[in-house]
Amino acid sequence: MFNAIKYSKKLEEAGFSREQAEIQLQIITEIVEGDLATKQDLKILETTLTNVIEIKTNHLELKVNNIEGKIQQLEYRITIKLGALLIIGFTSMATLIKFWLVH
């Protein structure tokens, strides 16, 4: 933490006049206070980050659900195609066996 009195005394010990030390102190104080975050600033940042994380999480959940739906559709299509191939294969084998037995 910044100790203004100690800083001012050190400036005076180094040869600065009281007026010069006070002006230096004002400048340093303005710089420090302008750049430091307050508890209110940190609370606003926390709330904002929490909201952003929640939105991103919801967005990711929607994407995952969408991908899962597409995977399920692909599974159904593969199952139907595999079933069709099996039916064609068995039908072809039965036809070939029938022709083989007839001849």
- pLDDT > 90? residue 54: yes
pLDDT (average), residues 38-64: 95
pLDDT (average), residues 57-84: 97
Residue 102 CA, distance from chain mean position: 70
Q: Return the structure tokens found at 37.
A: 């975050």
pLDDT (average), residues 61-73: 97
pLDDT (average), residues 76-92: 96
> How many of the other CB atoms lie within 10 Å of CB of 25?
16
More confident residue, 101 or 56: 56
What are the residue ranges spanned by the domains of the chain?
A: 1-36
Mean pLDDT (the chain) is 90
- Does pTM surpass 0.75? no
SS3 3: coil
Dist. CA 19–CA 85, nearest whole Å? 96
